[in-house]
Amino acid sequence: MAKPSPDSKTPYLLILPYFVLYFAFGLFPILFSLFISFTSWNGFSTMTFVGVANYVRLFFHDAAFYKALYNTALVMVCALPLSIVLGLLLAAMLKDYFDRSRNVFQLINFLPYITTPVAIGILFQILFDWKAGAVNSILLAVGIVKAPIYWLGHPWPARAVVVLLLVWQGFGYMMVIFLAGLSTIPAELYEAAKIDGAKWRDTFFRITVPMLRPVMTFVLTTGIIVGFRLFDEPQLLFSGEGEPIGGPDHAVETVVMTFYQAAFRDFSFGYGAAIAYGLFIVIFFFSFVAMRIVNRGNDYGT
């Protein structure tokens, strides 16, 4: 632009609304939460300053927090690679083998991602109901199982249902991101490989996967960040009467569920805020490690 003098007010006026709104409804609550995390407070009575007591309790005396972290990490470690691989394969296949019908398949596989997570939780609760659920009916009819499986009543089957739910919900999103990434790979690479007589499988592993490494980093780190926020689906999956929070033996209770329970059910605002900050520290650590791992692979790879 015709170099307006750097002290011109215009750009500052343009970015002002963003920063005002961010400070008012983004940063202020975050800092305020940090302050609250050093207190004991139920939101109504007087606030008592307790120093780092909430954090000491969280990191050294709260087995439930670690169990929730374990649960969240476990379903993520299973679901994230599965949905990435499925999304990548589907994207590569759609790009190379489908032309006119590509849009239809894109939309169908993207549907789960746009469905309200609350609805997904309830829907899976109904589909996996041990008496009336469609899944057991089909398994029984085909003869894969002899007796109905009590999916949501035992810890490991319940976890499996959550993983399945997350893969179903997430692979279409991965597919769309990978399709976007695929379209930036120069076609000449594939043409050259084809002249050399490479098969689809070869080009997939030798060209597609290496070239998509930046996209992979992107989906992996955002996947971890989003994965640790898991709340709606498992919360609703076990929302029926008489069902324990977080499923059988708290097997699928996630960190955000623990946070919600502490802050907004038990009204321990101070402790709840500390859980949120504890989770933030963990997320930061994990996404840092993930980024390091993916980037290190890159150094050796090329």
Partner 1 sequence: MAPRRYRAIPVYAAVVLVSLAAFFPFYAMLMMSTYVSEQLFTGVKLLPGAFLLQNLKTILAIHYLHFYANSLVVAATHTVAAVFISALTGFAFAKYPFRHKKLLFYFILGSLMVPPQLGLVGFVVEMKFLGIVNSLFPLILPGIANAFGVFWMTQYIAAAVPTEILESAKMDGCTALRLFLQIVLPIIRPALVTIFLLFFLWSWNNYLTPLVIISREALYTVPLAISMIGSEYRTDYAARILALAVSTIPVLILFAAGSKQLIRGLTAGSIKG
Residues 123 to 152 in contact with partner 1, rule: CB under 8 A: 123-124, 126-127, 131-132, 134, 137-138, 141
Among 84, 168, 223, 254, binds partner 1 (CB under 8 A): 168
- Which CB sits closer to partner 1, 71 or 203? 203
Minimum distance between the CB of residue 69 and partner 1, rounded to whole angstroms? 14
What part of residues 85-124 is at the interface with partner 1 (CB under 8 A)? 86, 89-90, 93-94, 96-98, 103, 105-112, 114-120, 122-124
The 3-class SS string of the chain reads CCCCCCCCCHHHHHHHHHHHHHHHHHHHHHHHHHHHCCEECCCCCCCEECCCHHHHHHHHHCHHHHHHHHHHHHHHHHHHHHHHHHHHHHHHHHHHHCCCCHHHHHHHHHHHHHCCHHHHHHHHHHHCCCCCCHHHHHHHHHCCCCCCCCHHHCHHHHHHHHHHHHHHHHHHHHHHHHHHHHCCCCHHHHHHHHHCCCCHHHHHHHHHHHHCHHHHHHHHHHHHHHHCCCCHHHHHHCCCCCCCCCCHHHCCCCHHHHHHHHHHHCCCHHHHHHHHHHHHHHHHHHHHHHHHHHHHHHHHHC
**Binding status of residue 237 toward partner 1 by CB under 8 A:** no
Q: Which stretch binds partner 1 (CB under 8 A): 24-32, 63-71, 77-85, 143-151?
A: 24-32
**Binding status of residue 277 toward partner 1 by CB under 8 A:** yes
Q: Which stretch binds partner 1 (CB under 8 A): 72-80, 143-151, 152-160, 256-264?
A: 256-264
**Binding status of residue 194 toward partner 1 by CB under 8 A:** yes
**Binding status of residue 228 toward partner 1 by CB under 8 A:** yes
